[in-house]
């Protein structure tokens, strides 16, 4: 196996692991609607970080990193939306 194949396999495997580590959090948030254990500032900063990171990702050719970053951005935005919606601390949607 050449080094390029090994790098692609490692990138794919780590992407699957990262995505699968976020799915239980999202499912629990939608199922229980209890996000009281989450810090609103952590969620806001996570979204801000994802937005800034997109400035780097868009400089890369389209590929798996775009899909992984899109997933992270979507998951982070959904968690912030759920927090604001279900906890009703800042806004009432």
Token pair 């775009």 is at which residue?
Answer: 66
Architecture of the domain whose range is 3-87: Up-down Bundle (1.20)
CA–CA separation, 49 vs 41, rounded Å?
12
pLDDT at 89: 61
E strands present in 19-84: none
**How far does CA 31 lie from the centroid of its chain?**
18
CA–CA separation, 92 vs 84, rounded Å?
8
Question: What pLDDT digit, counting tens, does each position of 14-64 carry?
Answer: 888 988 988 888 888 889 888 888 888 999 999 999 999 999 999 999 888
What's the whole-model pTM score?
A: 0.78
Find the helix or strand (DSSP H, E) in which 92 lies.
none
pLDDT at residue 91 greater than cutoff 60: no
């Amino acid at each position: 196996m050449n080094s390029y194949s090994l790098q692609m396999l490692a990138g794919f495997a780590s992407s699957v692991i990262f995505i699968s580590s976020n799915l239980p959090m999202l499912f629990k948030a939608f199922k229980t609607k209890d996000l009281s254990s989450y810090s609103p500032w952590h969620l806001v900063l996570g979204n801000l970080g994802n937005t800034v990171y997109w400035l780097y990702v868009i400089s890369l050719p389209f590929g798996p990193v775009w899909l992984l970053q899109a997933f992270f951005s979507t998951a982070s935005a959904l968690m912030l939306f759920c927090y604001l919606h279900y906890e009703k601390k800042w806004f009432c949607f």
